[in-house]
Amino acid sequence: MDVLALEAKGAGTPETNEKKAAPRPKPKTQKKTKRTVYFEVEILDLKTKEKLLLLDKVEPTATILDIKALFHKSYPKWYPARQSLRLDPKAKCLRDEDVLQSLPVGTTAIFHFTDLGPQVTWGTVFLTECAGPLIIYLMFYFRLPFIYSPKYDFTSSKQWVVHLACICHSLHYIKRILETLFIHRISHGTMPLRNIFKNCGYYWCSAAWMAYYINHPLYTPPYYGQQQVNIGLYIFAFCQLGNFSIHIALRNLKNQGSKNKKIPYPSKNPFTWIFWLVSCPNYTYEVGSWIGFTVLTQCVPVAFFTLVAFIQMTVWAKGKHRSYLKECRDYPTLRSSILPFIL
């Protein structure tokens, strides 16, 4: 009887059993809010060490471009493109996309400021560089007054290779202008205004030097005649098409405004197959074009310009090649910078 009474007492109703079985709700734990650690940014003049600005409570996710914008509010004459900020006076300039919290600084960051001077867009520089040689060469080709003897004013050369050289030279710079306007995606925003005078001086004077001799009334055609002209023309045309193909391939590789490097690879276009061996085939084709123009005209100033251009483009190509190796882990080791297996 005692056992039955205990069982009856423990059974109870279903509602009672559910209430007994239901677990007790756990007390809600309050989530800890993350505390934002703000930075203090101090900007010094690199030369005088004078304190120019002190920024308090700067977000840790702020970029260098954000800091430049804040600096610009205090000093309107120094817009962001004119500013150069460094962690150390001898260090490289910080990139606009660098994030404050990722830099090797404590909660107080000290930057050294340098004024880069008035800036101009790279597109403007490229257009000015290319338009000048195009116009200057045509001035010599049409033999405007005060260039040659008055009896040759507005006359045309009797040598047909002179006309062919003018067509090739003009098409080259027209191509470069159109590429600047519609194809190139320039990652760098601006460059110092003084550079436009240096760059244009080089290209414009070189074009005038070449044009003066090629269009001179006493100019003589190449030594090997038609055969040499044809070889030079074929080389020039082939390399111009190759250069254009590489520019298209590089455009498709990079998004507008992006500075991240991607490894370029050959495509179905045969002109891009040189990517297997060279990091900067656009420079390779560019040098090849001027070699073809040199063969076509057999002109010493053209040969000198080609040599100088090759040296300069080799420097650029080596810099880009090193950048590829540094930023791309799987970069093909077989590639050279500008000449396969040589440079």
Residue 32 has a pLDDT of 57
- Mark whether 227 and 186 lie in a shared domain: no
- Mark whether 274 and 326 lie in a shared domain: yes
- Mark whether 86 and 130 lie in a shared domain: no
Kindly give the parts of the chain with pLDDT less than 50: 1-16, 18-20
> How many C-beta atoms lie closer than 10 Å to residue 224's C-beta?
12
User: Is residue 59 in some structural domain?
Assistant: yes
Residue 26 has a pLDDT of 61
Identify residue 93 by its one-letter amino acid code.
C
Domain end position, chosen among 193, 220, 247? 220
Residue 171 has a pLDDT of 97
Residue 24 has a pLDDT of 66
Residue 243 has a pLDDT of 97
Give residue 101's domain range. 39-117
Residue partners of 78: CB distance under 8 A and separation at least 6: 71, 72, 115
pTM for this model (two decimals): 0.81
Domain end position, chosen among 98, 117, 136? 117
User: Is residue 46 in some structural domain?
Assistant: yes
User: Is residue 15 in some structural domain?
Assistant: no
- Mark whether 301 and 289 lie in a shared domain: yes
Q: Report in angstroms the alpha-carbon separations of 137 from 12, 172, 323.
A: 108, 12, 36
Residue 1 has a pLDDT of 41
- The fraction of the chain above a pLDDT of 70, given in percent, is 88
Residue 28 has a pLDDT of 60
Residue 240 has a pLDDT of 98
Q: Report in angstroms the alpha-carbon separations of 206 from 37, 173, 212, 303.
A: 57, 13, 10, 11
- Mark whether 98 and 154 lie in a shared domain: no
- Mark whether 238 and 300 lie in a shared domain: yes
Residue 201 has a pLDDT of 93
> How many C-beta atoms lie closer than 10 Å to residue 39's C-beta?
20
β-pair partners for 109? 41
Residue 18 has a pLDDT of 47
